[in-house]
């Protein structure tokens, strides 16, 4: 089982963020969240954990005692083997030496929300993080020696050019990370920036195409449209979920998947604390299979018969080949790389994944 914990607290709401969060929460509100989380975890025995992902919000906004309590809950209620991947998202301005030491004892993977190494571009994004806090966090994480370390970056920020983006990529890779997530700035309906800026599609595409060549000397390669890593450092949690792995979500707006149905926890903290039941998305098994198949086409490796056989209620591999051939007939053949033993998208096809997924889900 893969577990996702949505910790919906943050120092302030970043302009690009459309995820549910509670900015500047009172400490007692976080304590109430932990109280309710403990009650949920204690309700029923939980299957052993293959991966655990602590996201947000900003999980590291929690105080040191609150983080200690959170990790104690995970130890008490989740069975995790020595190979369990435990990830946590962090923002630089929330880290100090004591927190980093605690994280190093309890997680195997940390994801730092840098977004840009330029203070001016962070300001455009609404990221309240100064250069001093960023430098301190990078130094602390570099010394801590986490087994796996990711940095998040955003590109195509208004006013940014290709040289700026190249500098951000190099500075991130020079920190010693083994994983990098790169997202093009996109107008999100529920974000503060919303549609207040125009997307330069041509520049965004140029920046996307730059990434592999710049990261190649560091041994970091694309394995999914927006994710790059050294071999063996891919985010196992994400890979498992993309491939239809079982997922249990805790916290407001957290999603889960039981092999057929998708469950979504109450969308805000008030309802979640009041014990509102999750919403269940019930669709047919063929539709769910098609959805899972489309999602993992975002990865460079795509699908093999062995991977597809692990998907709950997967149809025969031959049926997948036939379905893909039908879709491919209505789009450029150069978007695909298909053989009896693998179905994947080409580099060109990954750029048009949205169009391909839409065609597969009709």
Q: Is the pTM of this model over 0.85?
A: yes
Kindly report the CATH number that applies to the domain delimited by 2-240: 3.20.20.70
In the chain, where do the E strands start and end?
A: 2-7, 9-10, 22-23, 49-56, 80-90, 109-115, 148-155, 179-184, 221-224, 227-229, 247-250, 255-257, 262-264, 279-281, 336-339, 342-345
What pLDDT, on a 0 to 100 scale, did the predictor assign at position 202?
A: 92
What pLDDT, on a 0 to 100 scale, did the predictor assign at position 30?
A: 97
Whether the pLDDT of residue 190 is over 70: the answer is: no
Whether the pLDDT of residue 131 is over 90: the answer is: yes
Higher-confidence position of 356 and 260: 356
- Report the C-alpha gap between 279 and 271 in whole angstroms: 12
- Report the C-alpha gap between 92 and 61 in whole angstroms: 10
> How many other C-beta atoms can be found within 10 angstroms of the C-beta atom of residue 65?
10
Within 8 A by CB and 6+ apart from 31, the residues are: 66
Whether the pLDDT of residue 193 is over 80: the answer is: no
69-75 average pLDDT score? 98
- pLDDT tens, residue by residue, 283-327: 888 888 899 999 999 999 999 999 999 998 889 999 999 989 999
What pLDDT, on a 0 to 100 scale, did the predictor assign at position 192?
A: 67
Phi, psi of 345, deg, nearest 5: -95, 150
Query: Residues 230, 219: contact at Cβ < 8 Å?
Result: yes
Q: List the chain domain ranges.
A: 2-240, 283-362
Determine what percent of the chain is predicted with pLDDT higher than 70: 98
Structure tokens at 99: 């927190």
Query: Residues 227, 198: contact at Cβ < 8 Å?
Result: no
Within 8 A by CB and 6+ apart from 7, the residues are: 33, 54, 55, 56, 57, 58, 59, 61, 62, 70, 251
What pLDDT, on a 0 to 100 scale, did the predictor assign at position 188?
A: 66
Site of tokens 């001093």: 132
125-143 average pLDDT score? 94
- Report the C-alpha gap between 118 and 165 in whole angstroms: 10
Cis-peptide, bond into residue 57, ω within 30° of zero: yes
- Report the C-alpha gap between 134 and 148 in whole angstroms: 19
User: How much is the mean pLDDT over the chain?
Assistant: 94
Structure tokens at 157: 């920020």
Whether the pLDDT of residue 56 is over 70: the answer is: yes
What pLDDT, on a 0 to 100 scale, did the predictor assign at position 282?
A: 85
Phi, psi of 209, deg, nearest 5: -70, -20
């Amino acid at each position: 089982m893969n577990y996702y914990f949505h910790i919906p607290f943050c120092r302030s709401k970043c302009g690009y963020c459309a995820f549910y969060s509670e900015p500047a929460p009172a400490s007692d509100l976080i304590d109430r969240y932990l109280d309710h989380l403990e009650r949920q975890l204690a309700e029923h025995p939980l299957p052993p954990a293959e991966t655990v992902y602590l996201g947000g919000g900003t999980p590291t906004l929690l105080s040191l005692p609150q983080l200690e309590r959170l990790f104690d809950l995970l130890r008490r209620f989740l069975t995790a083997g020595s190979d369990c991947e435990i990830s946590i998202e962090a923002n630089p301005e929330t880290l100090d030496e004591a927190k980093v030491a605690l994280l190093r004892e309890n997680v195997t993977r940390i994801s730092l929300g840098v977004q840009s190494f330029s203070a001016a571009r962070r300001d455009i994004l609404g990221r309240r993080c100064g250069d001093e806090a960023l430098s301190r966090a990078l130094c602390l994480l570099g010394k801590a020696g986490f087994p796996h370390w990711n940095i998040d970056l955003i590109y195509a920020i208004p006013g940014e050019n290709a040289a700026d983006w190249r500098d951000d990529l190099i500075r991130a890779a020079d920190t010693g990370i083994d994983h990098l997530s790169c997202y093009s700035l996109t107008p999100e309906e529920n974000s503060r920036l919303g549609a207040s800026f125009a997307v330069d599609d041509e520049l965004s595409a140029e920046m996307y195409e730059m990434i592999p060549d710049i990261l190649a000397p560091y041994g970091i390669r694309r394995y999914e449209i927006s994710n790059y890593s050294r071999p063996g450092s891919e985010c196992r949690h994400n890979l498992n979920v993309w491939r239809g792995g079982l997922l249990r979500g805790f916290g407001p707006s957290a999603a889960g998947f039981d092999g057929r149905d998708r469950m979504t926890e109450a969308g805000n903290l008030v309802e979640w604390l009041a014990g509102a039941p999750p919403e269940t998305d019930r669709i047919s098994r063929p539709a769910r299979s098609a959805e899972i198949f489309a999602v993992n086409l975002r990865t460079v490796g795509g699908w093999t018969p062995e991977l597809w056989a692990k998907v709950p209620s997967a149809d025969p591999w031959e049926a997948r080949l036939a379905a893909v051939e039908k879709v491919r007939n209505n789009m450029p053949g150069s978007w695909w790389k298909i053989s009896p033993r693998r179905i994947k998208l080409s580099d060109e096809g990954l750029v048009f994944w949205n169009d391909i997924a839409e065609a597969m889900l009709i």
